[in-house]
Structure 1
Amino acid sequence: MWEKKLEIYDAIVARCPRFERKGKKMIYTSANGYMFTLLNNAGEIGVRFSKEVQEKYLKELNTTLYKSYGATMKGYILIPESMLGDLDKVATYFDESYDYVMTLEPK
Protein backbone atom coordinates (compact mmCIF):
# COMPACT_ATOMS: atom_id res chain seq x y z
CA MET A 1 0.00 0.00 0.00
CA TRP A 2 2.65 2.56 1.06
CA GLU A 3 4.90 1.56 -1.85
CA LYS A 4 2.04 2.27 -4.28
CA LYS A 5 1.58 5.73 -2.73
CA LEU A 6 5.32 6.33 -3.05
CA GLU A 7 5.06 5.48 -6.76
CA ILE A 8 2.20 7.98 -7.11
CA TYR A 9 4.13 10.65 -5.18
CA ASP A 10 7.20 10.09 -7.37
CA ALA A 11 5.03 10.26 -10.51
CA ILE A 12 3.68 13.64 -9.37
CA VAL A 13 7.16 14.98 -8.60
CA ALA A 14 8.38 13.72 -12.00
CA ARG A 15 5.88 16.15 -13.59
CA CYS A 16 7.59 19.05 -11.77
CA PRO A 17 11.07 19.64 -13.23
CA ARG A 18 11.99 22.52 -10.89
CA PHE A 19 12.47 20.28 -7.83
CA GLU A 20 13.07 16.67 -6.84
CA ARG A 21 11.96 14.21 -4.20
CA LYS A 22 14.11 13.87 -1.11
CA GLY A 23 14.33 11.46 1.79
CA LYS A 24 14.50 7.70 2.22
CA LYS A 25 12.15 7.05 5.17
CA MET A 26 10.56 10.51 5.40
CA ILE A 27 9.61 11.42 1.83
CA TYR A 28 9.38 15.12 0.99
CA THR A 29 10.25 17.98 -1.33
CA SER A 30 11.94 21.16 -0.21
CA ALA A 31 13.15 24.44 -1.64
CA ASN A 32 14.50 27.67 -0.21
CA GLY A 33 15.02 25.85 3.10
CA TYR A 34 11.36 24.81 3.50
CA MET A 35 9.61 21.49 3.06
CA PHE A 36 6.54 21.98 0.90
CA THR A 37 5.17 18.49 0.16
CA LEU A 38 5.24 15.35 2.28
CA LEU A 39 4.30 11.70 2.07
CA ASN A 40 3.54 10.39 5.56
CA ASN A 41 3.80 6.81 6.83
CA ALA A 42 0.04 6.38 6.19
CA GLY A 43 0.62 7.08 2.48
CA GLU A 44 -1.10 10.47 2.59
CA ILE A 45 0.18 13.47 0.65
CA GLY A 46 0.35 16.92 2.20
CA VAL A 47 1.01 20.18 0.37
CA ARG A 48 1.97 23.50 1.96
CA PHE A 49 0.30 26.81 1.06
CA SER A 50 -0.09 30.31 2.45
CA LYS A 51 -2.83 30.71 5.05
CA GLU A 52 -5.22 32.28 2.51
CA VAL A 53 -4.65 29.64 -0.16
CA GLN A 54 -4.82 26.87 2.44
CA GLU A 55 -8.26 28.07 3.58
CA LYS A 56 -9.44 28.30 -0.04
CA TYR A 57 -8.33 24.74 -0.86
CA LEU A 58 -9.71 23.28 2.36
CA LYS A 59 -13.14 24.35 1.08
CA GLU A 60 -12.66 23.82 -2.66
CA LEU A 61 -11.19 20.35 -2.32
CA ASN A 62 -13.40 19.35 0.63
CA THR A 63 -10.33 18.25 2.57
CA THR A 64 -8.67 18.69 5.96
CA LEU A 65 -5.42 19.85 7.46
CA TYR A 66 -2.58 17.40 6.93
CA LYS A 67 -1.32 15.19 9.73
CA SER A 68 2.02 13.43 9.75
CA TYR A 69 3.30 11.18 12.52
CA GLY A 70 0.44 12.31 14.77
CA ALA A 71 1.09 16.04 14.38
CA THR A 72 -1.03 18.52 12.44
CA MET A 73 1.32 20.16 9.97
CA LYS A 74 0.88 23.93 10.00
CA GLY A 75 0.13 25.30 6.56
CA TYR A 76 -0.44 21.91 4.90
CA ILE A 77 -3.59 20.43 3.40
CA LEU A 78 -4.31 16.76 2.76
CA ILE A 79 -4.60 15.86 -0.92
CA PRO A 80 -7.82 13.82 -1.08
CA GLU A 81 -7.52 10.23 -2.26
CA SER A 82 -10.08 11.01 -4.98
CA MET A 83 -7.63 13.44 -6.63
CA LEU A 84 -4.91 10.84 -7.11
CA GLY A 85 -6.53 9.78 -10.38
CA ASP A 86 -5.44 13.10 -11.94
CA LEU A 87 -1.71 13.37 -11.28
CA ASP A 88 -1.31 16.32 -13.65
CA LYS A 89 -3.78 18.30 -11.54
CA VAL A 90 -2.03 17.34 -8.30
CA ALA A 91 1.27 18.38 -9.89
CA THR A 92 -0.15 21.90 -10.34
CA TYR A 93 -0.65 22.06 -6.56
CA PHE A 94 2.94 20.90 -6.02
CA ASP A 95 4.16 23.62 -8.40
CA GLU A 96 1.99 26.23 -6.68
CA SER A 97 3.40 25.19 -3.32
CA TYR A 98 6.96 25.44 -4.67
CA ASP A 99 6.21 28.97 -5.92
CA TYR A 100 4.88 29.85 -2.45
CA VAL A 101 7.96 28.69 -0.51
CA MET A 102 10.19 30.51 -2.98
CA THR A 103 8.53 33.77 -1.84
CA LEU A 104 9.51 33.12 1.79
CA GLU A 105 12.69 34.45 3.38
CA PRO A 106 15.34 31.75 2.74
CA LYS A 107 16.26 29.58 5.74
Structure 2
Amino acid sequence: MAKRSRDDVLKIYDRLIAGTTGFERKGKTTPYTSINGNMCSFVDPDGQLCLRFSDKDLAAFQERFAAPPVLQYGRVMKGYAAVPEALLNDEPALVGWFERMVANARALKPKPTKRKRVN
Protein backbone atom coordinates (compact mmCIF):
# COMPACT_ATOMS: atom_id res chain seq x y z
CA MET A 1 0.00 0.00 0.00
CA ALA A 2 1.21 3.50 -0.85
CA LYS A 3 2.28 5.88 1.88
CA ARG A 4 -0.46 8.27 2.95
CA SER A 5 -0.15 11.93 2.10
CA ARG A 6 0.67 14.41 4.86
CA ASP A 7 -2.87 15.82 4.56
CA ASP A 8 -4.34 12.34 5.16
CA VAL A 9 -2.12 11.87 8.22
CA LEU A 10 -3.16 15.30 9.55
CA LYS A 11 -6.84 14.32 9.21
CA ILE A 12 -6.20 11.18 11.27
CA TYR A 13 -4.20 13.24 13.79
CA ASP A 14 -7.05 15.75 14.11
CA ARG A 15 -9.55 12.92 14.76
CA LEU A 16 -7.29 11.48 17.47
CA ILE A 17 -6.93 14.89 19.12
CA ALA A 18 -10.67 15.64 18.88
CA GLY A 19 -11.39 12.42 20.78
CA THR A 20 -9.15 13.43 23.69
CA THR A 21 -10.35 15.75 26.45
CA GLY A 22 -8.18 18.79 27.10
CA PHE A 23 -6.06 18.35 24.00
CA GLU A 24 -5.55 20.74 21.11
CA ARG A 25 -3.37 20.81 18.04
CA LYS A 26 -0.70 23.51 18.03
CA GLY A 27 1.89 24.59 15.49
CA LYS A 28 1.50 25.37 11.81
CA THR A 29 4.60 24.02 10.09
CA THR A 30 4.98 21.08 12.46
CA PRO A 31 1.63 20.32 14.11
CA TYR A 32 2.05 19.01 17.66
CA THR A 33 0.36 18.43 21.00
CA SER A 34 1.68 19.12 24.47
CA ILE A 35 0.55 18.78 28.06
CA ASN A 36 2.02 20.84 30.90
CA GLY A 37 4.77 22.11 28.60
CA ASN A 38 5.84 18.64 27.44
CA MET A 39 5.47 17.95 23.71
CA CYS A 40 3.97 14.50 23.31
CA SER A 41 3.11 14.04 19.63
CA PHE A 42 3.73 15.67 16.28
CA VAL A 43 3.48 15.23 12.53
CA ASP A 44 6.78 15.96 10.81
CA PRO A 45 7.08 17.79 7.47
CA ASP A 46 7.19 14.44 5.63
CA GLY A 47 3.84 13.41 7.13
CA GLN A 48 5.17 10.97 9.74
CA LEU A 49 3.05 10.80 12.92
CA CYS A 50 5.28 10.47 15.99
CA LEU A 51 4.12 9.67 19.53
CA ARG A 52 5.97 9.97 22.86
CA PHE A 53 5.63 6.95 25.15
CA SER A 54 6.77 5.79 28.56
CA ASP A 55 9.81 3.49 28.42
CA LYS A 56 7.57 0.44 28.90
CA ASP A 57 5.07 1.45 26.19
CA LEU A 58 7.85 2.49 23.81
CA ALA A 59 9.48 -0.94 24.13
CA ALA A 60 6.13 -2.66 23.50
CA PHE A 61 5.39 -0.41 20.51
CA GLN A 62 8.83 -0.97 18.98
CA GLU A 63 8.58 -4.72 19.47
CA ARG A 64 5.07 -4.91 17.99
CA PHE A 65 5.70 -2.65 14.99
CA ALA A 66 9.51 -2.74 14.55
CA ALA A 67 9.34 1.06 14.72
CA PRO A 68 12.67 2.79 14.19
CA PRO A 69 13.79 5.67 16.42
CA VAL A 70 12.49 9.12 15.51
CA LEU A 71 15.20 11.38 14.13
CA GLN A 72 14.78 15.14 13.95
CA TYR A 73 17.63 17.42 12.93
CA GLY A 74 20.06 14.49 13.09
CA ARG A 75 19.23 13.55 16.69
CA VAL A 76 17.19 10.72 18.17
CA MET A 77 14.12 12.00 20.01
CA LYS A 78 14.05 10.10 23.31
CA GLY A 79 10.78 8.32 23.99
CA TYR A 80 9.27 8.86 20.53
CA ALA A 81 8.17 6.27 17.99
CA ALA A 82 7.03 6.74 14.41
CA VAL A 83 3.58 5.32 13.69
CA PRO A 84 3.82 2.78 10.85
CA GLU A 85 1.44 2.79 7.88
CA ALA A 86 -0.20 -0.45 9.07
CA LEU A 87 -1.26 1.21 12.33
CA LEU A 88 -2.53 4.32 10.51
CA ASN A 89 -4.80 1.92 8.61
CA ASP A 90 -6.20 0.51 11.89
CA GLU A 91 -7.67 3.55 13.65
CA PRO A 92 -9.24 1.61 16.55
CA ALA A 93 -5.81 0.19 17.44
CA LEU A 94 -4.20 3.60 16.84
CA VAL A 95 -6.64 5.18 19.31
CA GLY A 96 -5.44 2.72 21.97
CA TRP A 97 -1.80 3.69 21.41
CA PHE A 98 -2.72 7.39 21.33
CA GLU A 99 -4.46 6.97 24.71
CA ARG A 100 -1.30 5.37 26.13
CA MET A 101 0.70 8.33 24.85
CA VAL A 102 -1.75 10.76 26.49
CA ALA A 103 -1.57 8.88 29.81
CA ASN A 104 2.23 9.11 29.71
CA ALA A 105 2.15 12.82 28.85
CA ARG A 106 -0.20 13.58 31.72
CA ALA A 107 2.16 11.75 34.11
CA LEU A 108 5.22 13.80 33.10
CA LYS A 109 6.52 16.50 35.41
CA PRO A 110 5.27 19.92 34.22
CA LYS A 111 7.91 22.09 32.55
CA PRO A 112 8.27 25.63 33.85
CA THR A 113 7.24 28.35 31.45
CA LYS A 114 9.96 30.27 29.65
CA ARG A 115 7.82 33.33 29.03
CA LYS A 116 8.93 36.51 30.70
CA ARG A 117 6.34 38.20 32.86
CA VAL A 118 5.34 41.70 31.95
CA ASN A 119 4.79 43.85 35.03
Tell me which interval the TM-score lies in, with the shorter structure as reference length: 0.7 to 0.9
Identity %: 33
Determine the C-alpha separation between the residues in 1 that align with 2:47 and 2:74: 13
Q: What's the Cα RMSD here? A: 1.6
Matched, 1:47 2:51: yes
Q: Which residue in 2 is equivalent to 1:4?
A: 8
State the 1:91 CA deviation. 2.0
Cα 1:50–1:13 shift into 2, 3 Å: same
Determine the C-alpha separation between the residues in 2 that align with 1:7 and 1:63: 22
Cα 1:12–1:81 shift into 2, 3 Å: same
User: TM-score, normalization: structure 1?
Assistant: 0.87
Determine the C-alpha separation between the residues in 1 that align with 2:45 and 2:75: 12
Matched, 1:35 2:58: no
For the pair shown, which has the larger CA radius of gyration, 1 or 2?
2
Question: Greater relative contact order (Cα 8 A, min sep 6): structure 1 or 2?
Answer: 1
Kindly tell me the number of residue pairs found equivalent between the two proteins. 107
Determine the C-alpha separation between the residues in 2 that align with 1:55 and 1:39: 21
Deviating 4+ runs (over 3 angstroms): 68-71
Structure 1's unaligned 5+ residue stretches are none
Determine the C-alpha separation between the residues in 1 that align with 2:17 and 2:82: 16
Structure 2's unaligned 5+ residue stretches are 112-119
